């Protein structure tokens, strides 16, 4: 299968003090995605930041500006917005980016499938919150980007599928190497892939130094990759060289070429995930829609 490259340029943690290369403003994020499209990506996972403070924000007007800027030159690119529970508690706030419509409508929204702890912060995702976000996406024709940090989260996705809250085909980010979750080794990775529900597409993400290894394993194992400064700001294992997003993407393409993996285009993944074709028509077709 062709290689899904899910580009994560910003995230919630990297700051300009940590690395000057992280895009924070609307224009910086749009330009970094533009460069990524030229290198070759399938989809982008967006986080928005306050234009003045650089603090992560849920506000759909900022997401809308980013999406508008990207779609001026990449109208077919699959765009996912973050609905993260890291520091954002209220449903209305977390669901804010899902209210965008028309040419600003996201194709996907992230859905973390349980609560978890990071090194210094928590991501709170109650069963009620997960189900409300999933139903909001279902009602609006937006596909959940399912985030699983351990096998139990995959089992919860199966439970939601049985209840009709999630519907195949699915796309999973399998995130390995977080201190309180599945570790970045072949056993954890293999168990998570084995446990995925039928008709699922997946990408491996490695946290920090584990990014390169898990991306390499995914490319060799016919999976996809999640890649970008959101998960790792360094280019080397010794953490002596700060990476740019372009550095990380170019290395992925070298690895893909060595493994004879071609890039999966956004159009191909749209077809596989039953997404609308882009170019003004975004998200999933709502049941009963003409």
pLDDT digits over 166-217, tens only? 999 999 999 999 999 999 999 999 999 999 999 999 999 999 999 999 999 9
Number of structural domains found in the chain: 1
Neighbours of 221 (CB within 10 A): 14
CATH number for 157: 3.20.20.70
Q: Is 164 exposed, middle or buried (0-12, 13-18, 19+ CB in 10 A)?
A: exposed
In a domain, 170, yes or no: yes
What pLDDT is attached to residue 290? 46
pLDDT digits over 139-160, tens only? 999 999 999 999 999 999 999 9
d(CA 249, CA 122): 29
d(CA 38, CA 122): 35
In a domain, 107, yes or no: yes
Show the domain range for 229. 5-272
In a domain, 177, yes or no: yes
Cα pseudo-dihedral 63, 33, 276, 161, rounded to 10: -70
Structural contact between residues 151 and 113, judged by C-beta atoms closer than 8 angstroms: no
In a domain, 18, yes or no: yes
In a domain, 284, yes or no: no
What pLDDT is attached to residue 93? 96
pLDDT digits over 244-277, tens only? 999 999 999 999 999 999 999 999 999 999 999 9
Residue showing tokens 């977080």: 178
Neighbours of 130 (CB within 10 A): 24
More reliable by pLDDT, 285 or 51: 51
In a domain, 162, yes or no: yes
Peptide bond into 213 cis (omega under 30): no
In a domain, 277, yes or no: no
Return all residues near 270 (Cβ < 8 A) that are at least 6 apart: 76, 78, 107, 276, 277, 278
In a domain, 287, yes or no: no
Reported pTM: 0.97
């Amino acid at each position: 299968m062709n290689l899904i490259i899910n580009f994560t340029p910003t995230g919630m943690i990297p700051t300009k003090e940590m690395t000057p290369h992280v895009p924070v403003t609307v224009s910086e994020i749009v330009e970094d995605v533009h460069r990524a499209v030229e290198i070759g990506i399938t989809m982008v996972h967006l986080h928005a930041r306050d234009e003045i403070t650089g603090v992560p924000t849920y506000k759909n007007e900022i997401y809308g500006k980013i999406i508008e800027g990207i779609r001026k030159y990449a109208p077919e690119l699959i765009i996912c917005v973050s609905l993260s529970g890291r520091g954002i508690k209220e449903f209305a706030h977390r669901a804010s980016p899902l209210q965008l419509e028309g040419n600003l409508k996201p194709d996907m929204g992230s859905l973390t499938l349980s609560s978890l702890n990071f090194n210094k912060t928590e991501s709170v995702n109650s069963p009620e919150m997960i189900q409300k976000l999933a139903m909001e996406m279902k009602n609006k024709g937006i596909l959940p980007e399912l985030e699983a940090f351990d096998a139990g989260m995959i089992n919860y996705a199966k439970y939601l599928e049985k209840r009709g809250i999630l519907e195949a085909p699915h796309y999973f980010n399998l995130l390995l190497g977080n201190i309180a979750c599945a570790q970045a080794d072949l056993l954890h990775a293999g168990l998570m892939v084995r446990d995925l529900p039928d008709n699922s597409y997946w990408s491996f993400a490695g946290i920090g130094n584990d990014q390169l290894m898990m991306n390499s394993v995914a490319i060799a194992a016919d999976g996809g990759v999640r890649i970008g400064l959101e998960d790792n700001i360094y280019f080397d294992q010794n953490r002596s060289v700060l990476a740019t997003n372009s550095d990380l993407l170019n290395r992925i393409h070298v690895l893909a070429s060595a493994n004879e993996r071609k890039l999966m285009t956004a159009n191909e993944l749209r077809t596989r995930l039953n997404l609308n074709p882009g170019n003004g028509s975004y998200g999933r077709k709502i049941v009963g829609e003409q």
